[in-house]
Structure 1
Amino acid sequence: MPSLRKRVSTYLRQLSFHNEPRDKKNSANENAFVTKYLQGLITLREGPPIVYGKNPTDLPSYELGRYKSGASSVIGCYSGPNGGLTTVKRTEKHLSVLDDDIDFIDNHDEEEPGEGEEPSVPAADDAALPPEWSQKSDTFYGISDSLYDRNQVTRLKNGDPIADCFGLIAREDSAILAVADGVNWGEKASVAAKSAIHASLHYLNKTIFNDTKPFEKLTIKGEQSLTNDTLNPVDNGANLVGNTREVFVCLLRAFNCAHDLILENKGMLTTLTVAVILPIKSKEARRDSDGSYVCCVCNVGDTLAYVYSQKTGIRELTKGSHDVNSNRDMRDALGALGPVDGINPELSNLTLSITTLQKGDIVMVASDGLTDNFDPNVCKFTVNSNIETIKTRAKKPSANQENLRPPRETAQKVPPEPPQKPPRRSKLRATSLEPEMQQNPSVANHFIRANSVEEPRKETKKPPAPVIENKASSLRKQAARKISPPTHPGTQTGRYKFLKSKTSLDLRPGAAQNRPPILRNDEGIPYVSPIQRYELQLLLMEDILKRGISGRDSPINDARKLCETLVSFAISVTAAKRRTLEDREMYYDNRNGVMVEVSNQEKRARRKRGLERVQSLPGKLDHVTAVAYNVGNVVG
């Protein structure tokens, strides 16, 4: 069985153009995934509409069906990495207790780790999780990892600790999914992400599902603080929220709680995306009918949410938070919670989204470390195009593109001959023109046009004698005459035969040339517009989920396999960059056969040069996180 690395490299060769011969790169009939999309052979499929806005009133409101609530309805809670949200505490105070004033101005007297001191990183496993937060299954799952290279001296990965955090609370008919991506590196970025997940999940689980039991051991309780036993009692089976508009109000308040806890724990900036899946009322009162579930999403930053369906493919739920018609700067998160200006968050791209779901769909929330590694530009499958590039390439096509043009276009560049009266259909006249047609192709083309159906012919009782323009046309007409039906008086047989022969001459040489031309750079990589780049990103993800990395795997239908497959692809795409940066020459000098460690200043200089070298390699080094939930097929 081939290894994962071999399967990924094989898949990349099928998609990219770097490992193909030069003549194959520019072939119009190339059987490649990107080429098929650019020729219009592969398109995104339509699914249930996704509506987005800034306020709950901008979105349609769905009446919710009966959903299970309370502590007994929870079948799974999971968070990570390295303990996830359980590593931060939240102080629950009575409403009469005022919060202490917090100074957000940088204080130089604060304790900071030494220059050469490495931060302690807990083990990246579930051992740090309490039992109530280590419940996962194939139908609800999360994973987080680092794509950065490993330091050859400390054996720790650059960028540690992982600044991403995920959390989920799953029930049989509903779920809460959340992912936060701390901005930049460092412990404070990790604290901000964990605080955002902790506060948002706690608030939503309490206000929508009337449950705080998973957080009881994670809360520092003040006087007269609420516990799970002192929550507002509700009737069995009654919902705390009745429609999706109330759910969005809860989501916005949860984001406010997330921001407050970040400030309380002195964290820095983080993105946050939260998805809530709930059943809605159906006319047939059946959960397995179309559109029987709804997904409400709130996001700020570049952490995105998706829904994958076997019927309609993959769709982005957070599409309204970024402009798909322009190339975005991947270094800009677009928005963040935390003290952006010292105390306030940046909510410029905060977006609310809603769509209906079907049983069997998989909802996924992922950080940009995962989604950006499916970008065709990041994978080096395509390059950005602009108006000037398109105009230049259109005016000056490459030699290969000129050779692919049909002969008819080349003939049109010759000045047209003056109109001439067509010769009589006699063997003598046709034979006399044959040498001139062979010497001058324009005469032959004009002769064919002159004898087209535009010139009316008189009806005769006997079929006209065959005209021999040249050997090729004679053979084609004789073959057409053999298979044509018997002639009858009064029929225009000549017109029918000529039309059939002319059609075969026009379409047979290159039917593929009717497809739109593909503009490429000097290396043969296609140019794509921003919307093409966006659609290719979704199609690449969908292709991995349907056919696997090897292209021969069965379609993915559970949350665990979805997360593991996508993260494995991102790890494999970035493998070349890590191998380059993990070269021992970046950290040591060979002096008379002895490896001697260089100074920290020299390490930084060599790493900077190494980062410049890996810019041409595919992939993006980042922290990668994904969490997913099977709609309607949850098994604890």
Structure 2
Amino acid sequence: MSRSIYFRKSGKSPRWSKKKKATSDILWARKPDDLPDARLKKMSFNLFAACTGPANGLCDVNEHLPSALITDINWNSKNRKAYGVSESLYEKHPISGKITGEPVADSYAIVARKDNALLVVADGVNWGEKSMKAARSAIYGVVRYVCQNLFTESQVFKTKELFKVLRSSVDAAHQVILETQGGLTTLCVAFVAPLSNSKQFAICIVNVGDSLGYVFSRHHGIREITTASHDITVERNIRDARGAIGPVRGNDPDLANLTCSMTFCDAGDIVFLTTDGVSDNFDPVVTKVAVAPKQTRSKSDSDAPIENGEEFTSVAYECGIAQDGRPEMTPSERHQYAVKEMERIIHEQELETEQSISAQELCASIILHVVKLTEKRRRILENPQVWKKLKSEEAKKKRDDAVREKLRAEPGKLDHATIVAYEIGVFQGNENENYEEESDHELVLCSSPGYGDYTAPIAQFDSFESESEQETTTTLKDDESDSISQKFEEFVV
């Protein structure tokens, strides 16, 4: 393919020109240089909110690798317009009270300034200290690098330059993981910046793995910005993160699905990033609203290796089984449904409060939804009878089969769930202010030779194989835990 700039919308794509009306198109490429360039305004240095988590988040890494760029930020300054939260969806042991999967292996950070913001989420692969360390180290590496290279006297003034900083921050995150001897993690980095000669903003995202980015707009609803990092038309193995940083092969990361994505938005829109503990729990097959067509089931799902004592059965996946009247949905239909379900949760919150949702309320609504969705699974695994020691193997097998059947009937996926959100606009000092939502929809695109007469194709995925023919990293649980959910939890439900 001669050019690697793609549109993520319909088959009809606008041409680039000096003046162009901004639309809801998603632009993406594998490398920053392959994206078109939009001019940016000079960005404000004035910080009004910052937070990290769970617990101390990236500050734990800063204790071992101290940096003034991190220390000088007040990481407890959450704001209704800039917020993040991590939650464990796993069960609690009925006797010890210990929560399965601890410590939480997700991490997040947000740094919001007057007219711009940096958002980051990471999802440590597997469980344990090394996974937690990888996620927090990645967040630390990104924030330190971006603050060091963006907020200087010689600011960047074009989106292509901004993307180069974000892309390099992924490498910086990988190096910090190696320094701290962490494990593997996914990573999603987003930066919101004001466009020159426009009331609009650019959202620039670089992601690797299955941590994803979205934008909620009053005009367009919710759009996933990172769709080019995963083929939404093909059945996927839900245990496969598709990419990760950290020592995947030797000291090298797996960047097979690393993607640079960009879109334009208005003041009042909310950009948010999630780990798969959130996004997977909106999949209608996971939530038991639908079943996957039998013919679309991937070989990687049905033939996935059984590790760490987990059992994986075709019955759990429910391909083409609609005995209770549930419809079959293709992968692309499932993706569309999931996005609309997120919209429903947001609109229900707005109807209840009779006002526009804030970034804080968006985070709370989404997390509360996935917590409620997975409640019955936790209750099954928190039953003391599940932990009772039985004398015979036959009795144990009968008990385990019964638990497995109960889990199979309930919606949701137990995981760590993280979301971080930012309401786009120019902050004037009041977290309750309403940003101006009107926009002139005009943006100035820098000259990009060769794009003038170029009609961009619908996003294609043939380039996914160019990075490596080896296996991508998978999100299987490690063998350190003896939890019941490790024994019974189905990854694909």
Return the TM-score normalized by structure 1: 0.57
Instruction: Determine the structure 1 residue equivalent to 2:183.
Output: 268
Deviations 1:584-632 (A, max 9, x none): 112236xxxxxxx999xx9999678635531221000000000000000
Q: Distance in 2 between matches of 1:247 and 1:167?
A: 19
Query: Is the 1:178–1:365 Cα contact (8 Å) retained in structure 2?
Result: yes
1:368 to 261, 276, 297: 276
Answer whether contact 1:140 1:560 (CA < 8 A) is retained. yes
Asked if 1:629 corresponds to 2:429, the answer is: no
Alpha-carbon separation, structure 2, partners of 1:605 and 1:520: 24
Match of 1:67 in 2: 43
Match of 1:26 in 2: none
Q: CA deviation at 1:91?
A: 3.9
Contact 2:23–2:264 (CA under 8 A) maintained in structure 1:
no
Q: Does structure 1 retain, via aligned residues, the 8 Å contact 2:50–2:73?
A: no
Structure 1: gaps (5+ residues): 1-45, 94-128, 211-233, 390-518, 590-596
> Where does 1:176-255 land on structure 2 (aligned, <5 Å)?
176-210=118-152, 234=153, 240-255=155-170
Structure 1 match to 2:407: 614
Question: Amino acid of the residue matched to residue 127 of structure 2?
Answer: W
Q: How far apart are 1:553 and its partner, in Å?
A: 5.5
| Partner of residue 380 from structure 2, selected from 571, 575, 580 | 580
Q: Using a 3 Å threshold, how does the CA distance of structure 1 residues 372 and 598 change in structure 2: closer, same or farther?
A: farther
Note closer, same or farther for the CA distance 1:336–1:329 as it changes in structure 2 (3 Å cut).
Answer: same
Partner of 1:328: 236
Deviation at 1:190, TM superposition (A): 0.1
Residues 250 and 318 (structure 1 numbering): CA distance in 2 closer, same or farther, change over 3 Å? same
Match of 1:378 among 268, 275, 286: 286
Distance 2:159 2:341 in 1: 32
Matched, 1:150 2:92: yes
Counterpart CA distance in 1 for 2:61 and 2:81 is 27
Code of the aligned partner of 1:384: A
How many angstroms apart in 1 are the aligned matches of 2:73 and 2:178? 28
> Can you list the C-alpha shifts for 1:12-45, whole angstroms capped at 9, x where unaligned?
xxxxxxxxxxxxxxxxxxxxxxxxxxxxxxxxxx
Match of 1:13 in 2: none
Aligned to 1:108: none
- Are positions 1:82 and 2:55 aligned together? yes
Determine if contact 1:581/1:611 at 8 Å carries over to the other structure: no
Note closer, same or farther for the CA distance 1:543–1:47 as it changes in structure 2 (3 Å cut): farther
2:31 corresponds to = 55
Q: In 2, are the aligned partners of 1:153 and 1:587 still within 8 Å (CA)? A: no
Q: Where does residue 172 of structure 2 map in the other structure?
A: 257
Task: From the superposition, tell whether residues 562 and 604 of structure 1 become closer, same or farther in structure 2 (CA, over 3 Å).
Answer: farther
Asked whether the 8 Å contact 1:520–1:526 carries over to 2, the reply is no
User: Using the alignment, how far apart are the partners of 2:239 and 2:295 within structure 1?
Assistant: 24
Q: Which of 349, 360, 363 is the matching residue for 1:548?
A: 349
Aligned to 1:298: 206
Which residue of structure 2 aligns with residue 308 of structure 1?
Answer: 216
Q: Which has the higher contact order (CA 8 A, sep 6+)?
A: 2
Query: Which one-letter code corresponds to 2:322 in the other structure?
Result: N
Question: Is the aligned partner of 1:533 residue 2:448?
Answer: no
- Per-residue CA deviation, residues 193-223 of structure 1 (Å, 9 max, x unaligned), is 000000101100111113xxxxxxxxxxxxx
Q: Which residue in 1 is equivalent to 2:104?
A: 162
Q: Distance in 2 between matches of 1:130 and 1:240?
A: 20
Give the Cα separation in 2 of the matches to 1:195 and 1:161.
Answer: 15
Is the 1:327–1:530 Cα contact (8 Å) retained in structure 2?
A: yes
Tell me the CA shift for residue 329 of structure 1.
1.1
Structure-2 change in CA distance of 1:75 and 1:608 (3 Å): farther
Q: Distance in 1 between matches of 2:242 and 2:399?
A: 31
Given the two structures, how large is their TM-score scaled by the length of structure 2? 0.72
Larger Cα-atom Rg? 1
Q: Any conservation in 1 of the 2:50–2:82 contact (CA below 8 Å)?
A: no
Match of 1:443 in 2: none
Which stretches of structure 1, 4 residues or longer, exceed 2 Å deviation after superposition? 89-93, 386-389, 519-522, 551-557, 602-613, 633-636
- CA deviation after TM superposition for structure 1 residue 552, in Å: 5.2
Matched, 1:564 2:357: no
Q: Which residue identity does 2:84 align to in structure 1?
A: G
SS state at 2:247 partner: coil
Q: Amino acid of the residue matched to residue 620 of structure 1?
A: K
Question: Counterpart amino acid of 1:78?
Answer: C
What letter corresponds to residue 55 of structure 1 in structure 2?
A: K
Q: CA RMSD in A?
A: 2.7
Q: Secondary structure at the match of 1:356?
A: strand
Change (3 A) 1:139 1:347: same
- C-alpha change, 1:161 and 1:561, in structure 2 (3 Å) is same
The answer (yes or no) to whether the contact 2:94–2:384 under 8 Å persists in 1 is yes
Decide whether the 8 Å contact of 2:235 with 2:296 is kept in 1.
no
Deviation digits for residues 209-254 of structure 1 (CA, Å, limit 9, x no counterpart): 13xxxxxxxxxxxxxxxxxxxxxxx3xxxx5112011111111111
Pair 302,74 (structure 1): closer, same or farther in 2 beyond 3 Å: same
Aligned partner of residue 570 in structure 1, secondary structure? helix
Contact 2:234 2:296 in 1 (8 A): no
CA shift for structure 1 position 541: 0.5
- 1:279 is the counterpart of 2:255: no
Amino acid at match of 1:322: H
Q: CA deviation at 1:83?
A: 0.6
Corresponding residue number in structure 2 for 1:356: 264
Letter in 2 for 1:308: F
> Residue 117 of structure 2 contacts residue 191 of structure 2 at CA under 8 Å; is this kept in 1?
yes
Number of residue pairs matched by the alignment: 380
- 2:50·2:76 contact (CA, 8 Å) conserved in 1? yes
Give the superposition deviation at 1:304.
Answer: 0.3
| Partner SS for 2:271 | strand
The verdict on how the C-alpha distance between 1:200 and 1:587 changes in structure 2, with shifts beyond 3 A counting, is same
| Deviation per residue, 1:378-421 (Å, 9 max, x gap) | 110011114599xxxxxxxxxxxxxxxxxxxxxxxxxxxxxxxx
Aligned 8 A contact 1:377 1:383 in 2 = yes
Give the whole-Å Cα distance in 1 for the aligned partners of 2:426 and 2:217: 13
| Aligned equivalents of 2:185, 2:399: Cα separation in 1 | 30
Structure 1 counterpart of 2:407, which letter? Answer: V
Matched AA of 1:576: K
Contact 1:139 1:630 in 2 (8 A): yes
* Whole-Å separation in 1 of the counterparts to 2:402 and 2:112: 46
Q: Does the CA-based 8 Å contact 1:386-1:529 persist in structure 2?
A: no
Q: d(CA) in 2 for partners of 1:615 and 1:598?
A: 26
Deviation at 1:183, TM superposition (A): 0.4
Q: Distance in 2 between matches of 1:608 and 1:184?
A: 25
- Secondary structure at 1:240's aligned position in 2? coil
The answer (yes or no) to whether the contact 1:47–1:312 under 8 Å persists in 2 is no
Between 580-589 and 159-168, report the one with greater CA deviation: 580-589
- SS of the residue corresponding to residue 384 of structure 1 reads coil
Alignment-derived partner of residue 521 in structure 1: 322
Q: Distance in 2 between matches of 1:364 and 1:68?
A: 21
Q: Are 1:318 and 2:294 matched, yes or no?
A: no
CA-CA distance at 1:58 after TM superposition:
1.8
